[in-house]
Amino acid sequence: GNPSYFITFTCNVKWPEITEYMSQFPLLSTTDRGDVVDRVFEMKSHQFVNYLRDD
């Protein structure tokens, strides 16, 4: 049959995309801006899935 994958993908709040954005808000932490962490995670997970499909 078709190959299948079981992938665990985690987020690191120290990813450059997150830390660069959060540097604009020195009084806030990543727990205050979960939406930013979620957007970056979603972006990176889509990039990873596309990488798996293309290669």
Cα angle for residues 17, 18, 24 (degrees, 5° grid):
105
Amino acid symbol at 15: W
Q: How many DSSP H helices and E strands does the chain contain?
A: 2, 0
Query: In the chain, what is the straight-line distance between the N-terminal and C-terminal CA atoms, in Å?
Result: 19
Q: Which two tokens stand for residue 19?
A: 């830390």
pLDDT digits (tens, 9 = 90+) for 3-40: 787 889 899 999 999 999 999 999 999 999 999 999 99
Average pLDDT, integer, range 35-52: 94
Q: How far apart are CA 9 and CA 44, in angstroms?
A: 9
pTM reported for the whole predicted model: 0.80
pLDDT digits (tens, 9 = 90+) for 29-39: 999 999 999 99
